[in-house]
């Protein structure tokens, strides 16, 4: 079966009612596919319940009736393009037509972004928060030239160190992403999480500006939050960093934390305490979530949530849903965000989101 046939079969699967997830882990060559047929999907309203399940997880920024945590159970768990090709060839796929929900989302204008930025910045200047994260959208009209299967395969080729994923369920709709940020990885005896914050554009010569004090501060805020979280679920941990990592056309500061969950602690407890980190939300967390929901110009839905594979007995690996887009019948909605400090200015923060959007936009050209 040719690559041309394969991407068409992925597109056909997207047009069906079959829930599935296609994902390629960082550093790996071959993807996984989870197909959840019949009663193969669970929706959760409480993250603590996740520890009892196995499958591909799509979780929102904030759980609500409209955006539950979704688990696609592995009735079929395929590994490698050859296995995926054979399974799709044997699968009877019936097209279900357009998205029943008729979702309509627009891109964020600079004026809308500026209004939100001013509200965020004023709250920071008044010292209500140490940091806030402001997100926005960009809209691309979808036409026949946009094969999502082709886009996915190209992302796998370009972004070898990213988690590249494509998933669909009735509750979430269709999401695609190529994210650099691990939320958690491992099993009960050996786990890892990272702090990823601070962004600089990579110039045409392949280098970026030296890291400024404000970028290090932004990263340290996230790192300290993770330290405090881990002290509640583990007896000890070690950390490495910050180091510089690249993701598409931008560079980030990264600190890695290794730890073991304390006795009787669960992955659900860890996720409840850890998500959302200041890398996608703000400090203090609960107040920041409320402020973002009230003052940001968009509904984030599953952007800045997380996605990946959860297992009761084997390794679980979840990634923060950053460089991503929501796939609607007639449009592609891209999401990006950036950390705002009291020293931030609107023009540079808008440009940072423009740079982050290029990770996905460059695949659409």
Question: What does the pLDDT look like over 156-203, one tens digit per residue?
Answer: 999 999 999 999 999 999 999 999 899 999 987 899 999 988 888 888
Share of the chain above pLDDT 70, in %: 96
**Quick check: 14 pLDDT over 70?**
yes
**pLDDT of 1:** 40
Structure confidence at residue 5 (pLDDT): 82
Cα separation, 25 vs 39, whole angstroms = 26
What pLDDT was estimated at residue 315? Answer: 87
User: CA-to-CA distance for 328 and 313, rounded, in angstroms?
Assistant: 35
Q: Distance between CA 285 and CA 129 in Å, rounded?
A: 9
Is 175 buried (19+), middle (13-18) or exposed (0-12) by CB count in 10 A? buried
Averaged pLDDT of the chain? 91
Reported as a pLDDT band with limits 50, 70 and 90, residue 115 is very high
Q: How confident is the model at residue 3 (pLDDT cuts 50, 70, 90)?
A: low
pTM beyond 0.85: yes
Give the Cα separation of 210 and 302 in Å (integer). Answer: 33
Six token digits for residue 60: 């929102």
Query: Is 200 within 8 Å of 334 (Cβ atoms)?
Result: no
Gap between the Cα atoms of 12 and 18, Å rounded: 10
Q: Average pLDDT of 140-147?
A: 87
Among 254, 282, 287, CA closest to 338: 282
What average pLDDT does this structure show over 284-305? 97
Reduced to 3 states (helix: H, G, I; strand: E, B; else coil), residue 329 is coil
- The whole-number pLDDT of residue 82 equals 92
- Residues 300-319: what's their mean pLDDT? 93
């Amino acid at each position: 079966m040719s690559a041309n046939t394969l991407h068409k079969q992925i597109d056909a699967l997207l047009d069906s009612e079959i829930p599935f997830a296609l994902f390629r882990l960082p550093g790996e060559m071959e993807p996984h596919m989870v197909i959840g047929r019949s009663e193969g999907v669970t929706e959760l309203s409480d993250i603590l319940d996740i520890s009892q399940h196995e499958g591909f997880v799509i979780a929102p920024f904030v759980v609500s009736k409209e955006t539950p945590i979704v688990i696609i159970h592995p009735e079929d768990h395929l590994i490698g393009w050859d296995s995926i090709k054979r399974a799709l060839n044997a699968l009877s796929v019936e097209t279900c037509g357009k998205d029943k929900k008729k979702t309509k989302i627009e891109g964020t204008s600079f004026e809308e972004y500026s209004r939100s930025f001013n509200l965020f910045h004023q709250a920071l200047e008044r010292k209500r928060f140490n940091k806030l994260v402001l997100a926005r959208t960009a809209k691309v009209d979808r036409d026949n030239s946009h094969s999502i299967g082709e886009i996915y395969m190209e992302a796998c080729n370009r972004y070898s160190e990213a988690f590249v994923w494509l998933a669909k369920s009735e509750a979430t709709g269709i999401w695609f992403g190529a994210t650099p940020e691990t939320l958690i990885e491992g099993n009960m005896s050996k786990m890892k999480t990272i702090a990823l914050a601070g962004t600089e554009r990579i110039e045409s010569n392949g280098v970026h500006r030296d890291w400024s004090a404000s970028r290090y501060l932004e990263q340290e805020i996230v790192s300290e939050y993770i330290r405090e979280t881990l002290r509640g679920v583990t007896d000890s941990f070690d950390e490495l960093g910050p180091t510089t990592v690249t993701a598409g056309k931008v560079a980030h500061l990264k600190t890695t934390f290794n730890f073991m969950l304390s006795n009787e602690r669960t992955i659900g407890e860890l996720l409840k305490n850890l998500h959302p980190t200041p890398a996608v939300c703000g400090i203090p967390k609960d107040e920041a979530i409320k402020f973002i929901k009230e003052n940001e110009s968009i509904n984030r839905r599953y952007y800045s949530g997380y996605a990946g594979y959860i297992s009761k007995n084997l390794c679980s690996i979840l990634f923060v849903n950053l460089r991503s887009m929501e796939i609607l019948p007639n449009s592609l909605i891209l999401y990006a965000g950036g950390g705002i400090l009291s020293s931030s200015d609107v023009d540079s923060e808008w440009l940072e989101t423009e740079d982050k959007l290029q990770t996905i936009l460059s695949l659409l050209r």
